[in-house]
Amino acid sequence: MALSAREPLVPAERLVAEMVPPPRFDGVRFDTYLPDPQQPSQTEAVRVLSAFAESLGDGTGAAPTGRKRWFRRAPKAAAPSGPRGVYLDGGYGVGKTHLLASLWHAAPAAPERKAFGTFVELTNLVGALGFQQTVRTLSGHQLLCIDEFELDDPGDTVLVSSLLARLVEHGVALAATSNTLPGKLGEGRFAAADFLREIQGLSAHFRPLRIDGEDYRHRGLPEAPQPYTDEEVKAAARRTPGASLDGFPTLLGHLSTVHPSRYGALVEGVGAVCLTDVTPVPDQSTALRLVVLADRLYDREVPVLASGVPFDRLFSEEMLRGGYRKKYFRAISRLTALARDGRQLV
């Protein structure tokens, strides 16, 4: 089959039901996170987030016995006080999504009373349900976890900031990870102060938690495999159950016709993604769509086999120096990990 022949449709009720950690992070827990011994902030993050989860109570508003509550479900008419959320601040590959999903699993509320999704999935939910209905749908939740909070679209940032403000009024606890602002260079990661400033008026509700470290996907692992030939990729696709086979330029063109919120549905049920003629992406819009696809493939642990240029040459030097560079490095990191998994197909 070809991904470029798929046109997924995702009904609104499915968007709500699927706001859970993706398959890669379904089994993660705090005790499966492996902190780098050289980075004490990683061990501290596990400790703080574990206490954060315990402080949430059972989701009914009652505080856990003998424990200090970080979040108090305030009456709707009263302005909530104190931090009601945590922001995980760190570079790509330090395990922020692992920790965010572990927090979701550790929160004591029933699964239907806590939600986990990417920023793109959350904005698409608002588009499908409308703002007020989204507030009503999520306001009864104990916890909302937002991965990859996007700050490069001012309109969407204001929209989600307004949504979070309403949810905080209803006592919903928040947790988020974030991406780089356009124009932010330096460390290649985004500073907590910028996140808090951008989510207008919500800074008092977030406790920044910095997580230092190197990309765990490359820690002690061999170099990424070199691309295979077109013939090897096509042969592997034919003998691999559930594999897709696409020419890379054709797939990039198809991505422009599918909303990024549907990329998860686009690769649903796919056992492996086989790509021929991988070339550097031609422009920024295409590159950003590819980043989202890489995230969804990584979430679902779909191995990738490719011919053409290596994945570390997908993005131009100009892109890797620009404001979206953190996203591009994350995509390279994740595609490289999936390419290692894809070696078994040859």
Confidence at residue 259, expressed as pLDDT on a 0 to 100 scale: 86
> pLDDT tens digits for 174-198?
999 876 443 443 344 445 566 667 6
> Which range has the worst mean pLDDT, 123-127, 249-253, 325-329, 334-338?
325-329
- Across residues 295-321, what is the average pLDDT? 93
The yes-or-no verdict on residue 65 having pLDDT over 50 is: no
The yes-or-no verdict on residue 341 having pLDDT over 90 is: yes
Buried b (16+ CB within 10 A) or exposed e, 154-163: eebbebbebb
Instruction: Give percent above pLDDT 90 in the chain.
Output: 56
How distant is the alpha carbon of residue 181 from its chain centre?
16
The yes-or-no verdict on residue 162 having pLDDT over 70 is: yes
CB distance 310 to 226 below 8 Å: yes
DSSP 86: E
How many Cβ atoms are within 10 Å of 165's Cβ, its own excluded?
Answer: 15
Side-chain-facing half-sphere of 59: CA atoms under 13 Å? 18
Report the SS3 class of residue 103.
Answer: helix
Rounded distance, CA 329 to CA 326, Å?
5
Give the model's confidence band at 161: pLDDT under 50 very low, under 70 low, under 90 confident, else very high.
confident
Rounded distance, CA 77 to CA 75, Å?
5
Q: What does 127-150 look like in DSSP terms, one character per residue?
A: HHH-HHHHHHHHTT-SEEEEEEE-
Rounded distance, CA 245 to CA 10, Å?
23
Confidence at residue 291, expressed as pLDDT on a 0 to 100 scale: 93
Residue type, 22: P
Those residues with Cβ within 8 angstroms of residue 27's Cβ, 6 or more apart along the chain or in another chain: none
Confidence at residue 170, expressed as pLDDT on a 0 to 100 scale: 93
Those residues with Cβ within 8 angstroms of residue 264's Cβ, 6 or more apart along the chain or in another chain: 18, 22, 121, 296, 299, 300
- Across residues 50-70, what is the average pLDDT? 60
- Across residues 102-123, what is the average pLDDT? 93
Which secondary structure element, helix H or strand E, spans residue 245, and what is its range?
Answer: strand 243-247
For each of the domains in the chain, give its residue range(s) and CATH number, in order of start. 12-216 (3.40.50.300), 221-345 (3.40.50.300)
Which of 33, 189, 180 has the alpha carbon at shortest distance from 103?
Answer: 33
Give the model's confidence band at 226: pLDDT under 50 very low, under 70 low, under 90 confident, else very high.
confident
The yes-or-no verdict on residue 75 having pLDDT over 80 is: no
| Angle at the Cα of 270 from the Cα atoms of 264 and 275, rounded to 5 degrees | 95
- Across residues 284-305, what is the average pLDDT? 94
Per mean pLDDT, which of 14-18, 88-92, 251-255 is the most reliable?
251-255
Confidence at residue 76, expressed as pLDDT on a 0 to 100 scale: 40
Those residues with Cβ within 8 angstroms of residue 45's Cβ, 6 or more apart along the chain or in another chain: 35, 88, 99, 209, 211
Confidence at residue 193, expressed as pLDDT on a 0 to 100 scale: 64
Task: Quote the mean pLDDT of the chain.
Answer: 84
Confidence at residue 116, expressed as pLDDT on a 0 to 100 scale: 97
Rounded distance, CA 312 to CA 287, Å?
13
Instruction: Give percent above pLDDT 70 in the chain.
Output: 82
Confidence at residue 220, expressed as pLDDT on a 0 to 100 scale: 54
Those residues with Cβ within 8 angstroms of residue 33's Cβ, 6 or more apart along the chain or in another chain: 42, 46, 95, 98, 99, 102
Give the model's confidence band at 67: pLDDT under 50 very low, under 70 low, under 90 confident, else very high.
very low
Rounded distance, CA 276 to CA 293, Å?
16
- Across residues 29-53, what is the average pLDDT? 93
